Amino acid sequence: MSPLPYIQMKVQRFHARVNPARFLLLGGCLILSCFLAQGAQGAEYPERPIKLVVPFPPGGPTDIVARPFAEALSQSLGQAVVIENRGGAGGSIGAAAVVKSPADGYTLLLGTVGVISINPGLYPHLAYDPRDLTPVALLAAAPVALVAHPSVPADDVTGLRKLAAGDALRFGTAGNGTPGHLTGEMFRSASGIPLTHVPYKGSAPAVQDLLGGHLELAFDPLQSVLPHIRAGKLKALGISSAQPSPELPGVPTFLQAGVATEATAWWGIFAPAATPPAILDTLARHLARARQNSAVRQLESLGIELLPERSRAAEEDFLRTESLKWGKAVRDSGARVD
């Protein structure tokens, strides 16, 4: 018998023994069970506590944002979100640790404008590549405030221009390459006002010297200086955001004062780049709920803006723009690591 008739005969005998409808039903059940198994696996995340690496010491501006969001995310997920402070090298040590961790959604980074957009231009041998991190969600932003000691005879940028016609005024910041320093350099370049940078090892000592009258000015994220402004110990001359802050009524933006400078410090949750999209989507969905938490909403009273939920593509576009802007600021300023 030739091969073809033999095969046809075998097929006919198979159909005679097996009910085709039953066979199709069995196949459909197998396919459905595969989909259900995959769905069950996705629904299991998170099965254990999540570690959120804050790449700076406790108590700083990044901690102020991290802690209420971590608590709110924990409540929404039903699993503990544990903060691990791993400071050093401008956030590089903590960021590198997250990049090297498993891409399973259980180790996340509280990323900042410095860690993601400034450090690549500031450090000649960076221990991580920001491209190895993917944004889960950008959470909050704050303008940099230009503040002066009350003894400085200027109440706004116009008054500062007149005052600075002679010797250069000194402005303190949290250090070389920080958002305050780079914003100050952008302001100096755009305004033509002669200013001299005085770097400190952190925001607190810079503000203390300003409060003591050892400096004329400082550029610092708003949440760090807002209590002193409200107490009348410092006066705000302007802020770096595109829109005025509701916490500083009557204080103009730099743009409103005729200085072409717009910049904000910002914070977001990042994961290793290979993290599955389903896990990223789960985290983003619960972070959207966390924005409505009462403790998180209280950040607004500190001058911190809560950012709206956006698509991952929109977040990535924003990050590309920010990296170009801050990279240029680093080059133009000649900033270097101490």
CA dist 322 and 318 (Å) reads 6
Identical fold between 50-142+265-333 and 143-239: yes
- Can you tell me the distance from the alpha carbon of 14 to that of 225, in angstroms, rounded to the nearest whole number? 82
> Residue 219's closest CA among 258, 250, 177, 256?
177
**DSSP bridge pairs for 51:** 82, 107
Q: Is the pLDDT of residue 151 over 80?
A: yes
Please provide the DSSP assignment of 176-194 as one string: TTSHHHHHHHHHHHHH---
The arithmetic mean of pLDDT across residues 83-88, rounded, is 94
The closest alpha carbon to 179, from 250, 115, 87, 136, belongs to 115
Quick one: pLDDT at residue 146?
98
Query: What pLDDT is stored for residue 338 in this prediction?
Result: 56
Q: Residue 32 pLDDT more than 70?
A: no
pLDDT in the model for residue 166: 66
pLDDT for 33 beyond 90: no
Lowest mean pLDDT among 59-63, 179-183, 322-326: 59-63
Task: Compute the C-alpha angle 53/55/61, nearest 5°.
Answer: 110
Residue 226 contacts residue 157 (beta carbons within 8 Å): no
> What is the chain's length?
338
pLDDT recorded at residue 26: 40
What CATH number should be reported for the domain whose range is 143-239? 3.40.190.10
Left, alpha or beta for 193 (phi > 0: left; psi -120 to 50: alpha)?
beta
Nearest one of 160, 147, 305 to 236, comparing CA atoms:
147
Task: Report whether pLDDT(121) > 60.
Answer: yes
| Predicted local confidence at residue 61, as pLDDT | 83
pLDDT at 310: 92
Q: How confident is the model at residue 35 (pLDDT cuts 50, 70, 90)?
A: very low
Q: What is the pLDDT of residues 195-254, one digit of tens each?
A: 999 999 888 899 999 999 999 999 999 999 999 999 999 999 999 999 999 999 999 999
Q: Is the pLDDT of residue 7 over 50?
A: no
Q: What's the rounded mean pLDDT across residues 140-155? A: 96
Q: Where does the chain show beta strands of DSSP type E?
A: 50-54, 81-85, 107-112, 133-148, 169-173, 195-199, 217-221, 235-239, 264-272, 305-306
CA-based torsion, 96, 97, 98, 104: positive or negative: positive
What residue type is 195 in one-letter code? L
Instruction: Give CA–CA dist 46/82, Å, rounded.
Output: 13
Average pLDDT on 92-111 reads 97
pTM across the whole model = 0.83
Average pLDDT of the segment spanning 56-62: 86
Q: Please give the share of the chain, as a percent, with pLDDT higher than 90.
A: 76
CB 110 within 8 A of CB 320: no
pLDDT, mean of residues 292-311:
95
| Paired sense of beta strands 133-148 and 195-199, if any | unpaired
| 60 or 4: which leads in pLDDT | 60
Across the range 36-40, mean pLDDT stands at 42
pLDDT band at 10; cut points 50, 70, 90: very low
pLDDT number for residue 337: 76
Q: How far apart are CA 246 and CA 243, in angstroms?
A: 9
225 by Cβ neighbours in 10 Å (0-12 / 13-18 / 19+) ranks as: buried
Q: pLDDT value at position 39?
A: 41
Query: Mean pLDDT, the chain, as a whole number?
Result: 88
pLDDT of residue 30: 43
pLDDT for residue 130 is more than 60 = yes
Q: Considering only the top CATH level, what class is 50-142+265-333?
A: alpha beta
- Residue 137 clears pLDDT 80, i.e. is over it: yes
Quick one: pLDDT band at residue 163, thresholds 50, 70, 90? Answer: confident
Q: Is the pLDDT of residue 49 over 90?
A: yes
